Amino acid sequence: MKKYCFGVDVGGTTVKIGLFESTGVLLEQWEIETHTENFGERILSDICDSLDAKLMEKEISLDEVEGVGIGLPGPVLEDGTVLQCVNLGWGTFNVAEKLSSMFHGLKVMAGNDANVAALGEAWKGGGKDYDDIVMITLGTGVGGGVILGGKIVTGYNGGAGEIGHMHVNDEEEVTCGCGRKGCLEQYASATGVVRLATRYLAATEEETKMREFGAQITAKDVFDLAKAGDRGANAVVRQMGEYLGKSMSSIAAVLNPQAFIIGGGVSKAGQFLIDAVKDVYRETCFAACGDAAVHLAKLGNDAGIYGAAALIVK
Amino acid sequence: MKKYCFGVDVGGTTVKIGLFESTGVLLEQWEIETHTENFGERILSDICDSLDAKLMEKEISLDEVEGVGIGLPGPVLEDGTVLQCVNLGWGTFNVAEKLSSMFHGLKVMAGNDANVAALGEAWKGGGKDYDDIVMITLGTGVGGGVILGGKIVTGYNGGAGEIGHMHVNDEEEVTCGCGRKGCLEQYASATGVVRLATRYLAATEEETKMREFGAQITAKDVFDLAKAGDRGANAVVRQMGEYLGKSMSSIAAVLNPQAFIIGGGVSKAGQFLIDAVKDVYRETCFAACGDAAVHLAKLGNDAGIYGAAALIVK
């Protein structure tokens, strides 16, 4: 194994880049702008320029670089073919092959950004003691990734790890972003928690400080109030925990992972959230799966560059 | 690869054994009794005796045998450790190592019987054109197996593929065999279909031939009546299809498999069942997973010996 590798996490606004020792030590990280105009035709060459500049600055020769891992905001097949990245303006092509040909023929591996972040957490974050983890990212939406034997499960169309679109509620009338109704994302994302809070307020006369926030209430407000003992906020957290915990039980019945790792903005609620979810999980899961660990993610926004590096060196 | 291998499927009453060419041709199959007395201490030596006798009968030398695969009715870890087989009277030990030491040091691989049957279907049955399948076995209970990249996903405690214990109904008041409430098995197994039928009859005055069967009605009766156009029976099949199809949607959101393979006694209802399930699946699954194939299993009770052989030669 050569001494260095790069991890690249491409978003719609910025590209995060990390220079790593192949052992997993992050030496330096920086960002460049994502130029999405003209179908994102500059994105890969901008990345190459930035990597070349870094190698020159640090006086690292190409011979010392194992390769470049890259995470992308769209479905990516195991061979590095990206099916479509709407946010980047890209269609379908083999991004691993293309970037390799543009960057001195070095080894390049590509993956979906959520899956790659899961790999990062499995490598150096909340899941680093486990081979088989399921990561669930609670952000604006709910995403995730499945890591088995230390490798990403990609799925046939790159659609594995779309945990936010597990069906959890037959009664839902509002349509999810995916076009279906009753997806986990509609209750366990930041907007999902707000939806549950709003519904709770409309359905009850219960005194709760949540009312003071009105329509501006955020998921963070709900969790802060719940921690402070507000009964209504705790009822909302419990609902959210029910949806998430039962989804985890269903995942466990299929995969029996060693650990679940919970990340994303909503997970800033910390151990309080983990406890709420873990209780439901323990009550509803198949007995053999009851000892799965449930941990917070640890790498935050850096999970993507760690995971991209892991594509190369893990 | 040597020319022959054995596939052994151990049940609580009989042990099914197949002699295969390593290419997957089943040359001969037979059964021996499972002697479970004295903590099942004879089971492995009975198997060895039977294999030795077959080799002698067919004039096959040990040098021509690649190994022995064995499926067992309990959780089995990747290294061949069986955690407990209540039906065999066994506790925890490494069955692969033990059988190998008893059978001339040949390679032995072990797996859970439902997972091994899934591997058999993936190798030579309904899933033979696919690398990544999820098998769902609708029998007295609901079992299954997850095959990714042609290999069994075992899970941390050997608990992967327990699809029957996915949680699908919050309202259930009857306890499942696993101790929880609202498991898929409670609606999609043979007894589950009967449960749905009984509830349908109790809840409605609708005229249906199901009434004529009374408490003796079977899942087969329900499907036969549904095929013949009975409205009530079709309503029951639709309910069962809803539970199963939505579970498949949730599995797809996590794993995005190429194909689902439906087996077990209930699947004798054939394409009629597949169509009922497929419709719900297509309506409820995440869009990227919509093109997953849904097929009937093909190997019936032989899936276990095929899968056991596949543990060795696939």
Q: Is B294 on the interface with A (CB under 8 A)?
A: no
Distance of alpha carbon B120 from alpha carbon B113, whole angstroms? 10
Structure tokens at B29: 């199959």
Query: Around Cβ B73, how many Cβ atoms within 10 Å?
Result: 20
Average pLDDT, chain A: 95
Full DSSP string of A270-305: THHHHHHHHHHHHHHS-GGGTT-EEEE-SSGGGHHH
Mean pLDDT, residues A107-121? 97
Residue A85 has pLDDT above 90, yes or no: no
Interface contact A153-B158, CB threshold 8 A: no
Stated pTM of the model: 0.93
- The beta-carbon neighbor of B286 closest among A178, A249, A292 is A178
Q: Crossing angle of helices A271-284/A231-255, nearest 10°?
A: 50
Residues of A in contact with B164 (CB under 8 A): 253
Average pLDDT, chain B: 95
Residues of A in contact with B137 (CB under 8 A): none
Give how far A225 is from chain B: nearest CA, Å: 27
In sequence order, which residues have a C-beta less than 8 Å from that of residue B80 and are 6 or more positions away?
Answer: B94, B95, B96, B97, B108, B109, B110
Instruction: Kindly indicate whether the ipTM for this predicted assembly is greater than 0.95, answering yes or no.
Output: no
H or E element at residue B226: helix B219-227
The pLDDT-based confidence of B299 (bands split at 50, 70, 90) is very high
The pLDDT-based confidence of A170 (bands split at 50, 70, 90) is confident
Interface contact A255-B153, CB threshold 8 A: yes
User: What integer pLDDT is reported at residue A287 of this predicted model?
Assistant: 84
User: What integer pLDDT is reported at residue A290 of this predicted model?
Assistant: 87
Q: How many residues belong to chain A?
A: 314
Residue A45 one-letter amino acid? S
pLDDT digits (tens, 9 = 90+) for B189-205: 999 999 999 999 999 99
Interface test with A, best of B169, B171, B251, B286 (most A CBs within 10 A): B286
**Residues of A numbered 177-196 whose beta carbons fall under 8 angstroms of chain B's beta carbons: which are they?**
178-180
User: What integer pLDDT is reported at residue A127 of this predicted model?
Assistant: 96
Residue B214 has pLDDT above 90, yes or no: no
**Residues of B numbered 241-280 whose beta carbons fall under 8 angstroms of chain A's beta carbons: which are they?**
246-247, 249-258
Residue B85 has pLDDT above 90, yes or no: no
Structure tokens at B18: 């197949």
- Contact in structure between B305 and B14 (CB atoms under 8 Å): no
Structure tokens at B132: 């990544």
Instruction: Return the sign of the alpha-carbon dihedral for residues B92, B94, B96, B102.
Output: negative
User: What integer pLDDT is reported at residue B175 of this predicted model?
Assistant: 95
pLDDT digits (tens, 9 = 90+) for A264-278: 999 999 999 999 999
Residue A258 has pLDDT above 90, yes or no: yes
Interface contact A288-B162, CB threshold 8 A: yes
Helix, strand, coil % in chain A, rounded to nearest 5: 45, 25, 30
Residues of A in contact with B289 (CB under 8 A): 155-157, 159, 162
Interface contact A286-B159, CB threshold 8 A: yes
Chain B: residue whose CA lies nearest to A253: B162
Interface contact B167-A288, CB threshold 8 A: no
Residues of A in contact with B165 (CB under 8 A): 253, 286
User: What integer pLDDT is reported at residue A249 of this predicted model?
Assistant: 95
- Contact in structure between B7 and B22 (CB atoms under 8 Å): no
pLDDT digits (tens, 9 = 90+) for B20-70: 999 999 999 999 999 999 999 999 999 999 999 999 999 999 999 999 999
The pLDDT-based confidence of A90 (bands split at 50, 70, 90) is very high
Structure tokens at A73: 């905001």
User: What integer pLDDT is reported at residue B280 of this predicted model?
Assistant: 92
User: What integer pLDDT is reported at residue B54 of this predicted model?
Assistant: 98
User: What integer pLDDT is reported at residue B286 of this predicted model?
Assistant: 87
Terminal alpha carbon distance of chain B? 10
pLDDT digits (tens, 9 = 90+) for B93-121: 999 999 999 999 999 999 999 999 999 99
The pLDDT-based confidence of A2 (bands split at 50, 70, 90) is very high
Distance of alpha carbon A250 from alpha carbon A244, whole angstroms? 10
Q: Is A301 on the interface with B (CB under 8 A)?
A: no
User: What integer pLDDT is reported at residue B87 of this predicted model?
Assistant: 87
User: What integer pLDDT is reported at residue A288 of this predicted model?
Assistant: 84
pLDDT digits (tens, 9 = 90+) for B263-296: 999 999 999 999 999 999 998 898 888 899 999 9
pLDDT digits (tens, 9 = 90+) for A132-169: 999 999 998 999 999 999 999 999 999 999 999 999 99
Residue A58 has pLDDT above 90, yes or no: yes
**Exposure class string for B18-53: b at 16+ Cβ within 10 A, else e:** bbbebebebeebeebebebeeebeebbeebeebbee
Percent of chain A whose predicted confidence (pLDDT) is above 70:
100
The pLDDT-based confidence of A246 (bands split at 50, 70, 90) is very high
Interface contact B251-A246, CB threshold 8 A: no
Strand A142-148 relative to strand A151-152: parallel, antiparallel, unpaired?
Answer: antiparallel
Give how far B59 is from chain A: nearest CA, Å: 41
